[in-house]
Amino acid sequence: MIFAVDGYELVKPVGGVGRVTESLLKEAAAILSEHEFRVFTRKEYGGFPYPNVQEEKVGPDRGYFWWQNGPFRNKLQALKPDLLFAPNYWLPLFYRGKSVIILHDISFVAHPEWFSRKEAFKAKWLVKRSLKQAAAVVTVSEFSLAEILRFFPATASEKIKVVAHGVAEDFQPASAHQIEEWKESKGLQGKTVVGFLGSIFNRRHVLELVEAVSLLRAEIPDIVLYVVGPDRTHPPQNLQEALHQEWIHWDRGLPDEELPLFYSSLDVFAYLSTYEGFGLPPLEALACGTIPLLVNDTSLKEIYPDMAFMVESAQPEAIKEGLKAVLNQEDRRLAILNRFAERRSYFSWERAGRELAEILQSTLNTT
């Protein structure tokens, strides 16, 4: 049997959806070794060293919608796969074959104010069509499952399955020497470092984090902020000015191999999102020995209830007090890291890939 895969997000350095797609496919393809996986990408990727996985670059790329409904759909029509795996929210228009999609969150429906009117309308319309057409739907938390059913009540709940993310084994605490070299290379030696990593959306409250760290500098003069991620705010926020300060380091992205060093070098990882389908970066931070500070809301309170410090709002004063708590409460930090160590085997891509493989196989077997 042939599985076709929408690999549009498989580009390096790999982002959130791309990392999830790669990690799940590596495990699922190894389990379903009797099936052929045809992964269609917009750029050369080379991430699947398995004999049953073939990658093919297709183009041109004029944006995701046009790529998915142009060159990718043409490949599907020629290939006629037994199953399409679409891990990036929706299906190509007019595709009628058997399919499985991943719906990571529905922030564009729950909070359309965070998107342009055109983008929110298009996403809602495409997801609604895809939920009806797909034979199975994968989402990443019980929170996201509830949101899908709340905003798309016509969806059959039995075809939605929750598969929680994992964290790659590459994410481990770096050595003291490696951290020292890394911080020196970034001009952070001798500093207390608060970090953020992820696409910068309004819902992740990076500007409020900047203000909180600024307030905290009156008490901890050596504290600095290290932000990693592209600006995708809507309505646009004045990030260029806010992040252009001598105590803030902003990288739009980092090579994949440097991410464990980034997380390991932090004293606190701040991920102050008020809407997440899962929230993978806090898991990666924990795997590297760094405690996350999160907002006690949406999926974050489901996934990390006792594996993070929580604040009840993303207001600067609350964030400031949360950062102080993380820095000052060593016993609590150690307890959190111990709890994560006990649960790390659950938060594995091997487990997640096995669950996905079961969904793909069972979907293939349905008439």
14 — pLDDT class (breaks 50, 70, 90): confident
pLDDT of residue 233: 94
Average pLDDT across the chain, whole number: 96
7: three-class secondary structure by DSSP: coil
pTM of the model: 0.94
pLDDT of residue 295: 98
pLDDT of residue 291: 98
Q: Which residues fall within 8 angstroms of residue 41, CB to CB, at 6 or more apart?
A: 7, 8, 10, 11, 55, 56, 57, 58
DSSP class per residue in 159-188: GEEE------TT--PPPHHHHHHHHHHTT-
258 — pLDDT class (breaks 50, 70, 90): very high
Q: How far apart are CA 355 and CA 76, in angstroms?
A: 25
353 Rama sector, left if φ>0, alpha if ψ -120 to 50, beta otherwise: alpha
Query: Do β-strands 36-41 and 2-6 pair in parallel, antiparallel, or remain unpaired?
Result: parallel
- At which residue do the structure tokens 């939605």 appear? 160
Whether the upstream peptide bond of residue 112 has omega within 30° of 0, thus cis, is: no
Name the DSSP class of 205: -
The yes-or-no verdict on residue 325 having pLDDT over 90 is yes
Radius of gyration of the chain measured on its C-alpha atoms: 21
CB 262 within 8 A of CB 171: no
Query: Do β-strands 99-102 and 36-41 pair in parallel, antiparallel, or remain unpaired?
Result: unpaired
CB atoms within 10 A of CB 241: 8
Q: How far apart are CA 303 and CA 347, in angstroms?
A: 10
pLDDT of residue 122: 96
DSSP class per residue in 122-150: HHHHHHHHHHHH-SEEEESSHHHHHHHHH
- Residues 28-50 as b or e (16 or more Cβ within 10 Å = b): bbbbbeebbbbbbbbeebebbee
Q: How far apart are CA 332 and CA 66, in angstroms?
A: 49
345 — pLDDT class (breaks 50, 70, 90): very high
pLDDT of residue 47: 83
pLDDT of residue 49: 84
Q: Which two tokens stand for residue 222?
A: 């050596």
The yes-or-no verdict on residue 310 having pLDDT over 80 is yes
pLDDT of residue 12: 83
Q: How far apart are CA 203 and CA 199, in angstroms?
A: 10
pLDDT digits (tens, 9 = 90+) for 21-74: 999 999 999 999 999 999 999 999 988 889 999 999 999 999 999 999 999 999
CB 100 within 8 A of CB 360: yes
CB 102 within 8 A of CB 88: yes
366 — pLDDT class (breaks 50, 70, 90): confident
The yes-or-no verdict on residue 367 having pLDDT over 80 is no
Q: Which two tokens stand for residue 249?
A: 């380091």
All structural domains of the chain, each given as residue ranges with its CATH number in brackets, are 2-166+348-365 (3.40.50.2000), 176-343 (3.40.50.2000)
Name the DSSP class of 69: I
Burial label for 2, CB within 10 Å (0-12, 13-18, 19+), is middle
pLDDT digits (tens, 9 = 90+) for 260-298: 999 999 999 999 999 999 999 999 999 999 999 999 999
pLDDT of residue 160: 97
pLDDT of residue 178: 97
